[in-house]
């Protein structure tokens, strides 16, 4: 298995920052308990509080895909529909 790093950027709509933040926080403990999750850390930008970043490390891409297919991600997507301006996921390789 090849370790995978994920950098996910989420920008909430300006009037939904607190709601989206609460929904993102709900993902943390349940995701850390998932198979293959090495780390899953949420951050908020100091200049733009609408901007959140998850920094994630997974034991493999298959573990990430299982995570993305889980019901708590579907619940998050349904709950925040129309309240997120931008959502990107970058799959990356840790160099050092």
Which residues of this protein are in contact with a copy of itself, per CB under 8 A? Answer: 4-5, 7, 21, 24-25, 28, 41-47, 51-53, 55, 90-96
Report the residue number, 55 or 70, with the smaller CB distance to a copy of itself. Answer: 55
Neighbours of 33 (CB within 10 A): 9
Closest CA to 49 of 85, 74, 88, 7: 85
31, 40 in Cβ contact below 8 A? yes
Distances (CA, A) of 47 to 31, 44, 50, 87: 27, 9, 9, 18
Report the residue number, 71 or 93, with the smaller CB distance to a copy of itself. Answer: 93
Least Å from the CB of residue 5 to a copy of itself: 5
Report the residue number, 48 or 79, with the smaller CB distance to a copy of itself. Answer: 48
Least Å from the CB of residue 25 to a copy of itself: 7
């Amino acid at each position: 298995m090849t370790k995978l790093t994920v950098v996910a950027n989420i920008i909430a709509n300006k009037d939904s920052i607190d709601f989206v933040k609460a929904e993102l926080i709900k993902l943390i403990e349940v995701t850390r308990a998932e198979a293959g999750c090495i780390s899953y850390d949420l951050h908020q930008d100091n200049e733009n509080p609408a901007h959140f970043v998850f920094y994630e490390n997974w034991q493999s891409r298959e573990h990430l895909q299982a995570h993305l297919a889980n019901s708590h991600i579907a619940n998050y997507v349904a709950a925040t529909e129309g309240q997120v301006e931008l959502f990107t996921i970058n799959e990356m390789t840790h160099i050092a």
